Amino acid sequence: MPTIGVDKEDFYVALGQRFTSDEFQALCFDYGIELDEDTEDDPSRPADEKPELKIEVPANRSDLLCFEGLARSLNIFRGKEPAPTYRVLDLPKDRMHRIVVGKETAGVRPYIAGAILRGVKFTQASYDSFIGLQDKLHQNLARQRTLVAIGTHDLDTLQGPFSYEARRPEDIRFAPLNQQKEMDGNELMAHLDNDKHLGKYLHIIRDAPRYPVIYDSKGVVCSLPPIINGDHSKITLDTTNVFIELTATDQTKLEIICNSIVTMFAQYCSEPFVVEPVLIEEADGTTKVTPNLTPVRMEVDVNYINGCCGLELSPDSICKLLERMAYTSRPLGSRIEVFIPPTRPDVLHACDIMEDVAVAYGFNKLPRSLSNKSATVGKPLPINKLADIVRVECAMAGWFEVMPLILCSHDENFAWLNRQDDGTTAVKLANPKTIEYQVVRTSLLPGLLKTIRDNKSVRLPLKIFETSDIALKDDSLERRARNERRWAAAYCGKTSGFEVVHGLLDRIFLMLRVKDYFIQEISDLTFFPGRAAGVYLGKAGGESHRIGEIGVLHPEVLDKFEIRYPVSVLELNLEVL
């Protein structure tokens, strides 16, 4: 989950109270966040660095990714301030700043939104928080700028209306942020190629025939999204009117991030929590106004909330709890009408409202009781019960369970066992990272033999087993493959130990009450000639089918796995039992 660092002294001032460490820990727990670190007592903190609180917040709460949102939410939760009403300034369209969208942008970054924050008064702390929130949104919700890119500008240095276009790299020329030299698109890419911060975003548009670019009415480049802004319109501590533009490849993420950034910093506007809209004129002639800060309406059943939380609260009581979580709500008979603020895009279902009611009530205060009836019809799968029985009986017989990886190399699965790959059994990785993990095993034997190889220092005899899945191709299924539960055991000692493995087989079948089975000699290149047998269910001479093998491994197999002592193994398919 994201961790947010805030200045300890400033944060306590914003909360209007100083907390002891335990008191702040308790507050964080009650709200569903966690104090990860308080650097005040950290001996490694430089003397000139102010103490910080590092707070871990849920990944779905974009409203908690900055100092402002975190302090505001905790103050509302504690009843120190009411939830703000976010509002878009009501302006006629002919007085709005406009962004005219060119049709060529549809092939690069087709969506755009804008907003204006008027009369902002930045301090160094709020300026740093503003920039920091953009970075966090870029890294998280915007998926490293691939989905959304944010550009912020000093509106007083620009002249509207704005145009959003897609031009060839050589036709775009401007001085990028913190640079005096003008460059075209190709020169800019070369200049930023080794930049530690911006170089990782170049791939998003580098190979496109046209780059997205935003101009003002005088032809000044505002930004080249999603890479960099122009130096001409950069914001400073003296900036009072902030123009925010966002370009995107995902409309939903665009709206969420636009709402997040304007609601967090609209508190610094001359009229707090009021945002000036921007008119978007699409290439097809349609228009829209951004941002949209209208609360989302939802109805939630009172019985559903009480039933999930184990409470018996009245609708009015639930509304008061929702007020602590920044909702506006009112009773509607047996239901509650809830208005979800634009800061909470994570609220999608009635269960999210119910969870916030539980948070506001206090998780530690919720009644605790043991259900007197089953809440589900869940039960173990028969194959899992069978596997557990086999595990217990093997362990009680003195065998050690091992759990090797399900992936192995192609040679370990086939050539090292003297087996041929006919192409119809093994599921292969299309792009394996290493030669050790090329296929999904079709036998448990490679894992057992590698375990013996890697434990040569263990005193002999070594008796190990595994009960787990293999994977086999199966074209009759939609997924073209299936799992098969198997049981395998290996005995390594100074003698072959075939009789020990055979005894384990008899013991397991005895405990499983399997009576009709027998072994019969087979020819298998994995095993020593004359020392291999198939395990069959049924009666000898009558109807039967083979479910596995038992035998002494061939010396060539042992040599490939670098094992110096004889090994006897058995492997059975448990699915048929």
Q: How far is the C-alpha of 36 from the C-alpha of 156, rounded, in Å? A: 41
Among 396, 318, 389, which residue's Cα sits nearest to residue 355? 318
Tokens standing for residue 351: 């269960």
Beta bridge pairs of residue 439: 408, 428
| Residue 210 backbone phi and psi in degrees, to 5 | -130, 145
Tell me the two tokens of residue 51.
């103490």
Cα–Cα distance measured from residue 145 to residue 130, given in angstroms and rounded to the nearest whole number: 17
DSSP class per residue in 195-219: -TTTGGGGGGTTTSSSEEEEE-TT-
296-364 is classed CATH 3.30.56.10: yes
Fold for 382-576, please state it: BirA Bifunctional Protein; domain 2 (3.30.930)
The domain ranges of the chain are 3-77, 87-290, 296-364, 382-576
Helix (H, G, I), strand (E, B) or coil at 35: strand
Cα–Cα–Cα angle for 283, 289, 294, rounded to 5 degrees: 145
pLDDT on residue 1: 77
| Exposure on the CB side of residue 290, measured as CA atoms within 13 A | 27
Q: How far is CA 331 from CA 79, 85, 342, in A?
A: 21, 20, 21
Residue 369 has what pLDDT?
73
Structure tokens at 139: 């890294």
Contact 310, 367 (CB under 8 A): yes
In this prediction, residue 376 carries a pLDDT of 65
Quote the pLDDT of residue 379: 81
Q: What's phi and psi for 521, nearest 5 deg?
A: -60, 140
Q: What is the pLDDT of residue 370?
A: 66
- Which amino acid type is present at position 301? D
Q: Residue written as tokens 């007197």? A: 372
DSSP code per residue over 129-173: HHHHHHHHHHHTTTTTTTSEEEEEEEGGG--SPEEEEEE-GGG-E
CATH number of 3-77: 3.30.56.10
pLDDT of residue 372: 58
Nearest C-alpha neighbor of 62 from the set 252, 248, 316:
252
**pLDDT for 374:** 56
The contacts of residue 28 (CB under 8 Å, 6+ apart) are 34, 35, 55
pLDDT of the chain, 577 residues: tens digit per residue? 788 999 999 999 999 999 998 999 999 999 999 999 888 888 888 888 888 999 999 989 999 999 999 999 999 999 999 999 999 999 999 999 999 999 999 999 999 999 999 999 999 999 999 999 999 999 888 999 999 999 999 999 999 899 999 999 999 999 999 999 999 999 999 999 988 889 999 999 999 999 999 999 999 999 999 999 999 999 999 999 999 999 999 999 999 999 999 999 999 999 999 999 999 999 999 999 999 999 999 999 999 999 999 899 999 999 999 999 999 999 998 999 999 999 999 999 999 999 999 999 998 899 887 655 555 677 889 999 999 999 999 999 999 999 999 999 999 999 999 999 999 999 999 888 899 999 999 999 999 999 999 999 999 999 999 999 999 999 999 899 999 999 999 999 999 999 999 999 999 999 999 999 999 999 999 999 999 999 999 988 788 999 999 999 999 999 999 999 999 999 999 999 8
pLDDT score for 282: 94
Task: Please provide the size of the chain in residues.
Answer: 577
Q: Are 404 and 447 in contact (CB under 8 A)?
A: yes
Amino acid letter for position 396: M
Torsion, Cα of 448, 454, 455, 460 (10° steps): 60
Which SS3 state, helix, strand or coil, does residue 500 take? helix
Instruction: Report d(CA 430, CA 115) in Å as an integer.
Output: 46
Q: Closest Cα to residue 53, out of 28, 36, 69? A: 36
Which pair of tokens denotes residue 355?
Answer: 């969870």
To the question of domain 87-290 being in CATH 3.50.40.10, the answer is yes
Output Rg (C-alpha) for the chain, integer angstroms. Answer: 33
Three-state DSSP state, 576: helix
Asked whether the domain spanning 382-576 has the same topology as the one spanning 296-364, the reply is no
